[in-house]
A and B are shown apart, each in its own frame.
Chain A
Amino acid sequence: MPIQFRCSNCGQKLSISRKKAGSDVTCPECVQRVRVPTIEEAIARAKKRKLEKEKLLAQQAAKKAAAAKAKETPPPVKQREELPSEIKTKAPQTEKPKEHKPASPPKVEAPAPVSEPEKKPLREDLPSEAKAKAAPPDEEQSPTPPVIVKKPESPAEAPLTEEVEELEEVEELEEVDELEDINDAPPNLDDLFEDAGEEEVVDEKIAAEAPPLDDNQLLGDNQLEEKQVLSELDTESKESSPPATTTAGDDLSKSQAWQHHPNPWLHEDEEEDDFQLASPALEESGLDMTPMVDVTFLLLIFFMVTASFSTQKSLETAPPEPDEEGAAAAVVLEDIEEESVIVEIDEEDNIRVDDVPVSGFGELKDVLQAKIGEGKTEMLIEANAKSKHGTVVAVTDAGLEVQMQRIRRSSKKGDD
């Protein structure tokens, strides 16, 4: 069964195998060498705690009335005594940590109360105070670095031996996970409460309030929280019944477990803890349309850019022959006759290829193709001025299709 104790340097609850009792280990939190208390030491410590608990109980009973009346914030030491009642009123907030705690409530209470009262002294006098709370007497030093684990639940009231028996054996030193308790209200006071409560009282009313603060190890914050709890308790004097809140711890855990069921409509605590910026709901939607939108935008931009507004399909034509020059600049027909095909277009758009009438552009193309085969790779278009522009363009296009090397144009204005 593992020994549970507190690191003398940082106060971190540690759990280690009983075999390592009395040896030195390295605290995983503060990375310091810590001496694991022996079984005897643990027993002595447990006894001490018990005594303190009883003392506190008496004090709490006496101070309850005072706490109910006064709203003042008592000194830290006294806070411990008054807190139990206050803590119990604060059950809802503190209930959460209790949920996290596994094991049975009674067990939760046992170690908590035992440890909490000692926690305070521990923090105040770290090196000197008891380290093992609900820890088994046996502690051994493990070769591996100690690991922080959750404090096992075992009634603190039970004698150390009982605690020892209940605790599981752990071969390695483990850290006790106490995160859950951080959120709770005054941890120390609750611990104290639970210590007292374990023995006797079960205050169901307060049970709902007293949180399982057993494992709270807040140092500085405890003081503040205690004060807050105190003020709250003052207002709820009626509920500040017996300090036995510790047992309340048992009931608390039960009722708290019920009360602290996370309210989906309220996220106050959640927000305090895990502040998430991501909106998880987004992932729940069925079909993620983001890629589609991306592609759509891409297409849109593509068409916007390539709308071909800036290019005009054109056929290159020969520069026009200046009218004044007449035939001077023109190429003499005879010179090119051997290489050129002469296509004539009259005013009615009749096409003649080398004086051979051609009907239709399909035939024109074939004829031109044949001309290409004959080695005539140039074309001269003589278009009547009244011929349609479209016809000229079509003939030119046909010439390009048969891959005429050169297409010249001579425009006839009436009769040459």
Chain B
Amino acid sequence: MLKKKSTSEEDDEMDITPMIDVTFLLLIFFMVTSNMEQTATLAIPPAKHGEGITKDNAVILTIFKEGDEAEVYLSDGEKSNGPVEMQEVTAYVNEGVNAGKKNIIIKADRDIPSGFVEEVARAANEVEGNEGLKFYVGIEDKPE
């Protein structure tokens, strides 16, 4: 009786080997890609003591280095929404502040002149309600 379904009626058990293979593939993919958040062209300076800032509450500006020029993008590590001028930066930050965001993260390539970064920061600061704004410099986590 126990072997009733051994031959005639038993539909073979589903072989889950392919499923496991796909699962592992996905797993490895996410393990690897979760650390690569920036495009290859953006070399964010490393630092050890960075603190994690949730992006939900932050306006993110990205500064790429194109040749000798720095280009500001109103995006998060991607070359979209840019390059823009300082006025657009201000407008963009204004939008974010109006939406309730309190933090401004500037992700700049490490070879960009700090003066430029300051300029961008200043432009971002020219919004209304800039009292409670906090400025951050996006870094790459560099463990000891």
A389-B37 in contact (CB<8A): no
A388-B23 in contact (CB<8A): no
**Closest A residue by C-beta to B125:** A320
Q: From known contacts A303-B30, A322-B125, A385-B115, infer whether A313 and B50 are also in contact, taking CB-CB under 8 Å.
A: yes
Question: Given the complex, which residues of A lie within 8 Å of B46, measured CB to CB?
Answer: 393-394, 397
B4-A276 in contact (CB<8A): yes
User: How far is A285 from B12 in the complex, measured between Cα atoms in Å?
Assistant: 12
Interface string of B30-53 (1 = CB under 8 A from A): 110111010000010111111111
Interface string of B1-26 (1 = CB under 8 A from A): 11111111110010010011001101
> Which residues of chain A from 169 to 208 have any CB-CB distance to chain B below 8 Å in the complex?
none
Contact partner of B105 (CB less than 8 A), chosen from A289, A314, A323, A394, is A314
Interface string of A282-318 (1 = CB under 8 A from B): 1001000100110011011001101111111111111
Is the C-beta of B129 less than 8 angstroms from some C-beta in chain A? Answer: no
A398: min CB distance to chain B, Å: 9
Give chain B's interface secondary structure class. Answer: mixed
Is the C-beta of B116 less than 8 angstroms from some C-beta in chain A? Answer: yes
Is the C-beta of A71 less than 8 angstroms from some C-beta in chain B? Answer: no
Interface string of B110-144 (1 = CB under 8 A from A): 11111111110110111000100111111111000
Interface string of A303-343 (1 = CB under 8 A from B): 11011111111111111111100000000000000000000
Give chain A's interface secondary structure class. Answer: mixed
Most A Cβ at <10 Å: residue of B5, B103, B119, B140: B5
A329: min CB distance to chain B, Å: 11
B16-A289 in contact (CB<8A): yes
Contact partner of A411 (CB less than 8 A), chosen from B63, B115, B139, is B115
User: How far is A411 from B119 in the complex, measured between Cα atoms in Å?
Assistant: 10
Q: Which of the four size classes fits the interface of chain A?
A: 35 or more
Contact partner of A313 (CB less than 8 A), chosen from B7, B117, B140, is B140
Identify the stretch in A33-41, A77-85, A146-154, A261-269 within 8 Å (CB) of chain B at 4 or more residues.
Answer: A261-269
Question: Given the complex, which residues of B lie within 8 Å of A304, measured CB to CB?
Answer: 30
User: How far is A285 from B52 in the complex, measured between Cα atoms in Å?
Assistant: 47
Q: Which of the four size classes fits the interface of chain B?
A: 35 or more
A388-B27 in contact (CB<8A): no
> Which residues of chain B from 59 to 89 have any CB-CB distance to chain A below 8 Å in the complex?
60, 63, 76
User: How far is A396 from B140 in the complex, measured between Cα atoms in Å?
Assistant: 13
User: How far is A306 from B37 in the complex, measured between Cα atoms in Å?
Assistant: 13
Question: Given the complex, which residues of A lie within 8 Å of B27, measured CB to CB?
Answer: 296, 299-300, 303
B15: min CB distance to chain A, Å: 10
Is the C-beta of A391 less than 8 angstroms from some C-beta in chain B? Answer: yes
Most B Cβ at <10 Å: residue of A297, A303, A321, A413: A303
Is the C-beta of B58 less than 8 angstroms from some C-beta in chain A? Answer: yes
Contact partner of A314 (CB less than 8 A), chosen from B7, B19, B50, is B50
Q: From known contacts A267-B4, A281-B13, A389-B108, infer whether A384 and B135 are also in contact, taking CB-CB under 8 Å.
A: no
User: How far is A308 from B51 in the complex, measured between Cα atoms in Å?
Assistant: 13
Could you name 9 residue pairs across A and B whose Cβ atoms are closer than 8 Å?
A303-B27, A314-B52, A314-B136, A315-B136, A315-B137, A323-B119, A385-B116, A390-B43, A393-B46
Q: A308-B37, A323-B122, A390-B109 are in contact. List 9 more A-B contacts (CB 8 A).
A: A293-B20, A303-B31, A313-B139, A314-B139, A318-B135, A319-B133, A385-B116, A389-B137, A390-B45
What is A's interface to B at a CB cutoff of 8 Å?
264-267, 270-271, 273-274, 276, 279-282, 285, 289, 292-293, 296-297, 299-300, 303-304, 306-323, 345, 383-394, 396-397, 400-401, 409, 411, 413
What is B's interface to A at a CB cutoff of 8 Å?
1-10, 13, 16, 19-20, 23-24, 26-27, 30-31, 33-35, 37, 43, 45-56, 58, 60, 63, 76, 103, 105, 107-119, 121-122, 124-126, 130, 133-141
Give 7 closest A-B pairs by Cβ, nearest first.
Answer: A385-B115, A390-B110, A307-B34, A314-B136, A320-B121, A390-B45, A313-B50
